[in-house]
Structure 1
Amino acid sequence: MGRLRYSYTCGVCNFKTKTIPCTKCTKYERHNNFDSGYKNVDDMIIASQSHAKDDRDFLEWIEFSQLRILETLDEGGFGTVYKAKWLDGLPMDASDVGRAWNRSHFNYVVAVKFFHNNKDFLKEFTNIYKMVRKFSEENEFPSNIVHYYGATYDYDNEHYAKQISNGLRPKVYQEDGIPRCFVNLMRNCWNSDVRSRPNAYTLYEKFNSWIEYSEAFEDMEWNITEPSIYHRKAVYTSRSWWQ
């Protein structure tokens, strides 16, 4: 039996197929019967799926009913981050044409960021899409990169949100004795924008400066000695040199 030969390359997703319309695009259209309210968001989600090579390098629209908010993690000027459970769980086999998506890790714990301003949501989601596509094209998604799963919309509160996984950050309590400078550095390292995180050299320089300051303070403490004990008759508040 001879090898199967594909006779058509899809102009949308470049998938080699024997049928028209493309089976891969048709599959993603079946899974993406949604309307985010923004055509460019819909297009980015569908495009990320049509170019997916594994279950890490694509985005999806997630129904808000599939999320259970657990607690508030952080608040800022652009939005609020919550800890939540994703009831459906993680998608699998996104690149396997002809099969329905499987799910794993039901009630998966994720972080959900709600935006106060839709413009901020659109800007950040666009950056996330570009990052996901970049790593998808390079066929390598670094393990240290925050994994973004998609977007949702809370119709009750009218807030768009992006859903992230290993972007969960623990709360830092300064009353535990953690110095503010270290707290700030930790938060910089947790920044969802990879480009805003300090690199290894920056951390090396930062830690070295802390060590130098610490050693300087230790030297100062050692150099502070107790006042000498003088004989009371040798101490004068005022005395003529000639006496």
Structure 2
Amino acid sequence: MNPLEWFGKGCSVCGGKKTGFNWCRTCSAKHFEQNFKTWTSGNEVIDKFIQDAQLSAGENFEVLEWVPYERFYDVEFIAKGGFGQVYKAKWTDGLIHKWDDKKKDWERLCADNFVALKCLNNSEHVTFEFINEITCQKKLNSGFITKLYGLTQHPETKNYMMILEYAENGSLRNYLDDNALNWENKIRNIHYIALGLDEIHKNRLIHRDLHIGNILMNNNSTCITDLGLCRPADHDASDKKSIYGVTQYIAPEVLRGKNYT
């Protein structure tokens, strides 16, 4: 079937309208729900967050999963920030693509491909910062924002980790250390960054920590990452004790104790 032909087609199983190519929200939700008792993150809040995402997924790229840490291998440290660490690892299973009715299991893509694992400090207690970041990542499901695939937990520290899209070329800051951009690439990258910001602002959010270290380069694509400080547009940023970020990139009005304009 041509990928465009699914529009208006009914699901061959339940008869309902398909919500995506090879995807029926009603049937997929039933398959996910049947497996709820087979996994747990060990935390009710995280379990419910993932379950709600699975039940509401209208496309395969909207699915989140709980993935046991042992499903990753070749784990390698990438970078450390003020709030945690980032690793890259290969994911044995890969991404859910569609339900295989013959095998009675999910068909998957990109098995053994690299993903990024972002570990937040003290997230074993499921802090506000952790819930805020995964909520923003889930809400901002755009090609110009780093994709969130699911969650896992470090077996030693017990900190929870986000499973994110891996950017092969790293941050824009690191990329520019060894590469030059011609005008065509500069304009294209600026365009992608603007589209990512537009997605954030359409959801009435402000990134609050945008700098070249939080812009990722992935082949010919550019995306925004690190939504840990992302807040609603009406968030009160006037408290100077709550000012975070890289100083030279912080909005001047915030440094003066005012809200974002």
**TM-score under structure 2 length normalisation:** 0.53
Asked whether the 8 Å contact 1:111–1:168 carries over to 2, the reply is: no
- Tell me, yes or no, if structure 1 residue 131 matches structure 2 residue 131: no
Match of 1:146, as an amino acid?
Answer: T
Structure showing greater radius of gyration is: 1
Aligned residue among 53, 76, 94 for 2:81: 76
- Tell me, yes or no, if structure 1 residue 93 matches structure 2 residue 102: no
Asked whether the 8 Å contact 1:110–1:168 carries over to 2, the reply is: no
1:188: how far off? 3.9
Match of 2:42, as an amino acid?
Answer: G
* Map 1:1-243 → 2, pairs under 5 A: 24-32=28-36, 33-93=38-98, 99-118=104-123, 119=127, 120-132=129-141, 142-167=142-167, 170=170, 172=174, 185-190=211-216, 191-193=224-226
Show the counterpart of 1:200: none
Counterpart CA distance in 1 for 2:152 and 2:46 is: 11
Higher RCO (CA-CA < 8 Å; seq separation 6+): 1
Show the counterpart of 2:247: none
Show the counterpart of 2:256: none
Per-residue CA deviations over 1:52-97 (Å, capped at 9, x if unaligned) read 222211211011001114322110121100111001112111698x
Per-residue CA deviations over 1:1-55 (Å, capped at 9, x if unaligned) read xxx9x799xxxxx966xxxxxx654411233322212212111211111122222
Q: Which runs of 5+ in 1 are unaligned?
A: 9-13, 17-22, 133-141, 179-183, 197-243
In the superposition, relative to structure 1, how do residues 116 and 54 fare at CA in structure 2: closer, same or farther (>3 Å)? same
Match of 1:158, as an amino acid?
Answer: K
Per-residue CA deviations over 1:164-188 (Å, capped at 9, x if unaligned) read 014555262887598xxxxx95324
Counterpart CA distance in 2 for 1:15 and 1:163 is: 23
Show the counterpart of 1:214: none
Query: When the two structures are aligned, how many residues end up with a matched partner?
Result: 168
Q: Which runs of 4+ in 1 moved over 4 A?
A: 173-178, 193-196
Give the fraction of aligned pairs with identical amino acids, expressed as a percent: 27
Task: Give the 3-state SS of the residue equivalent to 1:27 in structure 2.
Answer: helix
Per-residue CA deviations over 1:86-125 (Å, capped at 9, x if unaligned) read 01112111698x9521112221111101111211323322
Task: Give the 3-state SS of the residue equivalent to 2:77 in structure 1.
Answer: strand
Counterpart CA distance in 2 for 1:63 and 1:107 is: 15
**TM-score under structure 1 length normalisation:** 0.56
Asked whether the 8 Å contact 1:53–1:94 carries over to 2, the reply is: no
Task: Give the 3-state SS of the residue equivalent to 1:101 in structure 2.
Answer: strand
Q: State the superposition RMSD in angstroms.
A: 3.7
